[in-house]
């Protein structure tokens, strides 16, 4: 208990430092992870090959297509008519809490700059195999939410895949440290409560910037709480309620942050809030289009502001 | 490449602007076609960059520190730019005495772009300490470093860069031993680098030895004017142009996504989507024009705020942190560079330079202001491409005529589409080290 209290105090101190906008000296020199251009280039060669393959597939599809969307899908029976430019949602984003959101965005940027990102950079010094193990471990835990939500979305094939992944990785993969299932051609496809709510017709709702977490929508925020609540209730191996829960939560946060290259205000732009909001909400709306791709019923045309 | 595609998406934000007044002072219309010297291959190279298999050998470890520095001459930071208070640069140190290469970024970009990473890798691998700096047109530089806030004037920006370099070099860790300083830059940064060297030739505070310009413009305003033409031709100049582009892209992406059976819109999907969406010269041109316009929006906003010209920012009530900037961004998205020049840049500099005229401001933003030095001093070098997007034939000929054997023109590469390529890197290193034919010792 004492340890958990100390952790909470440390967390509060760090937040206070972030809020105060620390690091006010005139020159600061921070070490950041070294670059490996040789490896980046090797990765780019792979990526270019993937792009060439994608271009070839796109060309082949365009050649074979009769203009219907969904030609490549496994289930062409219920495919809807392709979207046209007129079906695209408004460019405006429904953001009734913009003022509060903007202050939260600034808080998150300061927190990230002063605490979260430096901690993630320090975490990146740990050898990569250990970090992969941590990443796989948390990914495996999230399969439980995926199984439940795929079932609720009535996407049983994907649910079975998540269940298969959880069983294989928890056993052969030593408690989830190794993603053995991916080698058996069962790659991860995480989902959650927000997608379930979307599947059953709930709109993303207003744009919402959540403290520490970042860009979201009301539905995504509820989804996050629901997913966490589910994990907390199930409490696999007492990981969510036991003494280790704070430490594991922190490790999970470091793992997630270190896998995201985004940096607040690296664009230097005063319009970053608008740009991120636009991209985030459009991404989620397109993902919703995927959720409804095979619905029998025709979705009404989206004329209302995006995200509403 | 996905970055270019993201730029396409990011750019498609909002576009219903107000009616434009006819500008009173205009930069000269850009000569030649909107794509400059580029053909289809040049446009593709500009968007995709150097094919990774053509890249020069790179080191496997480049140490990096990030330096944030508050400059003594900085003015009060406007509320909306709270995050740009300090100048941020990146530095890679050798463990032994070595020459320092200072690399300046291209238009609107910060000091840690992917192109700078490539150059940093090549230079560090060749034994240089490497300092990478943002462009003077990057908002973070405009706010933390610029002495005017109105970016785009070659000489003014050069003086600001030069002053900032002195401060940064003075604050480098003591164990770093520098035995020579060279400057280089790509795109606008190339022109900035040459200007900085010419300023140093007078002031002598850094004793800069050589300067290498990678794909520089010659006449700043005609290069930018060409990109404006590219925007008008491939996206449109009416108020709904960006919205039309957004709607088309959204529908195309959503259809591809629906057909893909994916459960997340991830990078892999974007890669495939880009392959499907970017096919024609017009689409590549749109991507190039839009990514430039996104940068211009920031420069325009900052300039208007600092100069108090009131185009989109009310000088008496500047926006604050909680205020929405969506309408402002939407209006600026439709404004070409010519309007920045006529409504912000020219009014500001005409007021601050008593003997100047619109014509003299335009003439001052041409590399020929240091033409004599470029012609006679053997320490200036340049690299450019035969299918360059930002040059026309006359400008390219001027560069060749002025620099003589100290410029190399590659057949192919568009604008920056061969940065990091084996020959480009090998020539750049030869130029920097004085190993180029005809180099002065």
**DSSP letter assigned to residue B212:** E
pLDDT of residue B4: 40
Q: Which pLDDT does position A199 carry in this prediction?
A: 94
Pairing type for strands B178-186 and B129-133 reads unpaired
Nearest to A271 among B255, B271, B297 (CB): B297
User: Closest by alpha carbon to A88, among B251, B10, B16?
Assistant: B251
DSSP letter at B172?
Answer: S
Q: Which CATH number does B48-219+365-432 carry?
A: 3.40.50.1820
Inform me whether the pLDDT recorded for B261 exceeds 80: no
Mean pLDDT for B394-419 is: 96
Q: Which residues of B touch A306 (CB under 8 A)?
A: none
CB contact under 8 A, A62 and B276: yes
Contacts of B322 in chain A (CB under 8 A): 98-99, 102-103
What does the DSSP assignment read for A158-222?
HHHHHHHHHHHHHHTTTTTTS-HHHHTT-------HHHHHHHTT----SEEEETTTEEEEHHHHH
Whole-number pLDDT of residue A67? 42
Pick from A103, A106, A270: CB nearest B139: A270
Question: Which pLDDT score is estimated for B96?
Answer: 96
Q: Which helix (H) or strand (E) holds A6?
A: helix A2-19
Stretch among A55-64, B55-64, B151-160 having the lowest mean pLDDT = A55-64
| A44 → chain B, closest CA residue | B52
The CB density around residue B382, as the number of other CB atoms within 10 Å, is 24
- Of B10, B250, B298, nearest to A88 by CB-CB distance is B250
CB contact at 8 A, B8 and B206: no
Residues of B in contact with A286 (CB under 8 A): 250, 253-254, 257, 265
Search chain B and give the residue with CA nearest A286.
B254
Given an 8 Å threshold on Cβ–Cβ distance, is B64 in contact with A92?
A: no
Per-residue confidence (pLDDT) for residue A75, from 0 to 100: 42
Residues in Cβ contact with A267 at an 8 Å cutoff, skipping those fewer than 6 apart = A275, B110, B139, B298
Q: Higher-confidence residue: B115 or B270?
A: B115
DSSP strand pairing (B98-104 vs B178-186): parallel
Find the residue in A nearest to B172 (Cα): A29
B190-216 mean pLDDT: 98
Task: Work out the average pLDDT over B412-439.
Answer: 94
Residues of A in contact with B86 (CB under 8 A): 28
Mean pLDDT of B370-388: 97
Task: Label each residue of B55-107 as H, E or C.
Answer: ECCCCCCEEEEEEEECCCCCCCCCHHHHHHCCEEEEEECCCCCEEEEEEECCC
Domain ranges of chain B: 2-30+222-361, 48-219+365-432
Residue B5 pLDDT = 37
Nearest CA in chain B to A43: B52
The pLDDT of residue B10 is 38
Q: How close is the nearest chain A Cα to the Cα of B136, in Å? A: 12
Q: Quote ipTM for the complex.
A: 0.88
Tokens of B11: 């750019």
Nearest to B10 among A41, A47, A275 (CB): A275
Q: Mutation target for A interface from B17, B141, B149, B257: give the one with most A CBs within 10 A.
A: B257
pLDDT given at position A46: 83
Looking at the partner chain, which of A30, A40, A98 has a beta carbon nearest the beta carbon of B66? A30
Work out the pLDDT band at B157, boundaries 50, 70, 90. very high
B321 CB neighbours in chain A (<8 A) are: 102-103, 106
Question: Does B77 score more than 60 pLDDT?
Answer: yes
Report CB contact under 8 Å: B9, A103. Answer: no
From chain A, pick out residues whose CB is under 8 angstroms from the CB of B251. 82-85, 87-88
In this structure, the number of other CB atoms found within 10 A of the CB of residue A66 comes to: 5
Summary mean pLDDT of chain B: 90
pLDDT for the residue numbered B11 = 36
Q: Say whether pLDDT at B317 is over 50.
A: yes
Q: Does the beta-carbon distance from B139 to A274 stay under 8 Å?
A: no
Q: Distance between CA A146 and CA A192 in Å, rounded? A: 6
Q: Which residues of A205-225 are buried (b: 16+ CB within 10 A; e: fewer)?
A: bbbbbbeeebbbbbbbbbbbe
Q: Nearest CA to CA, how far is A1 from chain B (Å)?
A: 38
Q: Which of B367, B408, B417 is nearest to B388 (CA)?
A: B417
Judging contacts by C-beta atoms under 8 Å, the chain A residues touching residue B166 are: none
> What does the pLDDT profile of chain A (308 residues) look like in tens digits?
445 555 566 666 555 555 554 445 799 999 898 999 999 888 888 877 877 777 777 667 655 544 433 333 344 445 578 888 889 998 889 999 999 999 999 999 999 999 999 999 999 999 999 999 999 999 999 999 999 999 999 999 999 999 999 999 999 999 999 999 999 889 999 999 999 999 999 999 999 999 999 999 999 999 999 999 999 999 888 888 888 899 999 999 999 999 998 999 999 999 999 999 999 999 999 999 988 876 544 444 444 455 54
Please list the residues that pair with B421 across neighbouring strands: B55
Closest chain B C-alpha to A233 CA, distance in angstroms = 26
User: Of residues B31 and B354, which shows the higher confidence score?
Assistant: B354
| Set of chain A residues whose Cβ sits within 8 Å of the Cβ of B12 | 91
The sign of the CA dihedral A303, A308, B5, B7 is positive
Please tell me which of the candidates A28, A99, A286 has its beta carbon nearest to residue B68. A28
pLDDT over threshold 60, residue B235: yes
| Contact: A37, B58; criterion CB under 8 Å | yes
How far away is chain B from the Cα of A87, in angstroms, using its nearest Cα?
Answer: 7
| Most confident by average pLDDT, A25-39, B238-252, B296-310 | B296-310
Residue for token pair 């010419």: B198
Task: Report the residue of A26, A156, A271 to disrupt the B interface, i.e. the one with the largest count of B CBs within 10 Å.
Answer: A271
Tokens at residue B72, please?
A: 């003594």
Q: How far apart are CA A132 and CA A137, in angstroms?
A: 8
For residue A58, give how far its alpha carbon lies from the nearest alpha carbon of chain B (Å): 5
* Residues of chain B contacting residue A50, judged by C-beta atoms under 8 Å apart: 268, 271
B185 vs A90, higher pLDDT: B185
A36, B60: Cβ pair inside 8 Å? yes
């Amino acid at each position: 208990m004492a340890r958990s209290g100390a952790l909470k105090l440390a967390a509060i101190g760090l937040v206070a430092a972030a809020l105060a906008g620390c690091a006010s000296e005139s020159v600061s020199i921070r070490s950041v992870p070294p670059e490996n251009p040789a490896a980046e280039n090797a990765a780019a060669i792979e990526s270019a090959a993937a792009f060439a393959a994608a271009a070839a597939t796109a060309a082949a599809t365009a050649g074979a297509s009769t203009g219907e969307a969904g030609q490549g899908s496994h289930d062409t029976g219920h495919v809807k008519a392709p979207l046209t430019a007129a079906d695209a949602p408004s460019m405006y984003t429904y953001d009734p809490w913009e003022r509060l959101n903007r202050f939260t965005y600034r808080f998150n940027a300061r927190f990230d700059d002063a605490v979260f990102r430096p901690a993630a950079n320090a975490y990146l010094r740990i050898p990569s195999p250990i970090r992969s193990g941590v990443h796989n471990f948390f990914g495996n835990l999230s399969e439980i939410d995926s199984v439940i939500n795929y079932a609720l979305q009535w996407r049983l094939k994907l649910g079975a895949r998540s269940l298969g992944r959880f069983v294989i990785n928890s056993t052969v993969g030593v408690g989830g440290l190794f993603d053995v299932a991916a080698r058996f051609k069962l790659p991860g496809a995480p989902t959650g409560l927000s997608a379930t709510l979307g599947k059953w017709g709930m709109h993303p709702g207003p744009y919402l910037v959540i403290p520490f977490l970042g860009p979201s929508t009301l539905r995504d925020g509820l989804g996050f709480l629901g997913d966490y609540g589910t994990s907390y209730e199930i409490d696999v191996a007492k990981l969510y309620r036991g003494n280790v829960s704070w430490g594991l939560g922190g490790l999970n946060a470091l793992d997630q942050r270190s896998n995201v290259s985004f940096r607040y205000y690296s664009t230097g732009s005063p319009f970053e809030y608008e740009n991120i909001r636009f991209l985030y909400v459009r991404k989620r709306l397109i993902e919703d289009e995927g959720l409804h791709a095979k619905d029998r019923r025709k979705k009404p045309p989206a004329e209302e502001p995006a995200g509403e | 490449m996905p970055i270019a595609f993201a730029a396409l998406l990011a750019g498609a934000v909002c576009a219903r602007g107000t009616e434009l007044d006819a500008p009173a002072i205009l930069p000269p219309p850009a000569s030649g076609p909107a794509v400059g010297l580029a053909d289809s291959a040049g446009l593709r190279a500009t968007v995709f960059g150097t094919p990774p298999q053509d890249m020069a050998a790179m080191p496997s470890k480049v140490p990096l520190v990030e330096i944030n520095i508050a400059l003594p001459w900085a003015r009060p930071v406007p509320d909306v730019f709270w995050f740009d208070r300090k100048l941020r640069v990146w530095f890679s140190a050798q463990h032994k005495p070595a020459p320092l290469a200072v690399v300046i970024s291209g238009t609107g970009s910060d000091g840690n772009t992917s192109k700078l990473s490539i150059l940093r890798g090549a230079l560090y691998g060749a034994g240089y300490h490497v300092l990478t700096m943002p462009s003077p047109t990057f908002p973070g530089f405009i706010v933390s470093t610029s002495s005017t806030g109105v970016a785009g004037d070659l000489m003014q920006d050069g003086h600001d860069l030069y002053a900032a370099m002195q401060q940064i070099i003075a604050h480098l860790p003591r164990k770093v031993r520098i035995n020579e300083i060279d400057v280089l830059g790509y795109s606008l940064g190339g022109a900035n680098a040459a200007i900085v060297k010419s300023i140093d030739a007078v002031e002598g505070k850094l004793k800069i030895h050589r300067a290498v310009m990678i794909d520089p413009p010659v006449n700043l305003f005609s290069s930018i004017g060409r990109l404006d033409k590219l925007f008008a031709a491939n996206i449109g100049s009416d108020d709904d142009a960006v919205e039309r582009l957004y709607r088309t892209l959204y529908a195309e992406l959503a259809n591809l996504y629906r057909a893909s059976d994916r459960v997340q819109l991830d990078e892999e999907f974007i890669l495939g989507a880009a392959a499907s969406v970017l096919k024609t010269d017009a689409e590549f041109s749109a991507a190039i024009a839009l990514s430039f316009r996104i940068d211009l929006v920031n420069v325009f906003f900052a300039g208007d705020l600092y100069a108090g010209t009131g185009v989109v920012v009310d000088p008496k009530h500047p926006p604050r942190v909680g205020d929405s900037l969506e309408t402002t961004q939407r209006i600026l998205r439709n404004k070409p560079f010519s309007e920045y020049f006529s409504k912000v840049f020219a009014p500001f500099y005409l007021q601050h330079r008593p003997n100047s005229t619109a014509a003299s401001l335009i003439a001052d933003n041409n590399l020929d202001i240091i033409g004599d030095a470029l012609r006679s001093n053997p320490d200036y070098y340049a690299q450019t491409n035969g299918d360059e997007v930002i040059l026309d034939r006359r400008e390219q000929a001027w560069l060749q005529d002025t620099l003589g054997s100290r410029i190399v023109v590659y057949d192919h590469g568009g604008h920056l589409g061969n940065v990091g390529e084996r020959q480009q890197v090998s020539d750049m290193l030869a130029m920097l080290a004085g190993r180029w034919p005809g180099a002065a010792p």
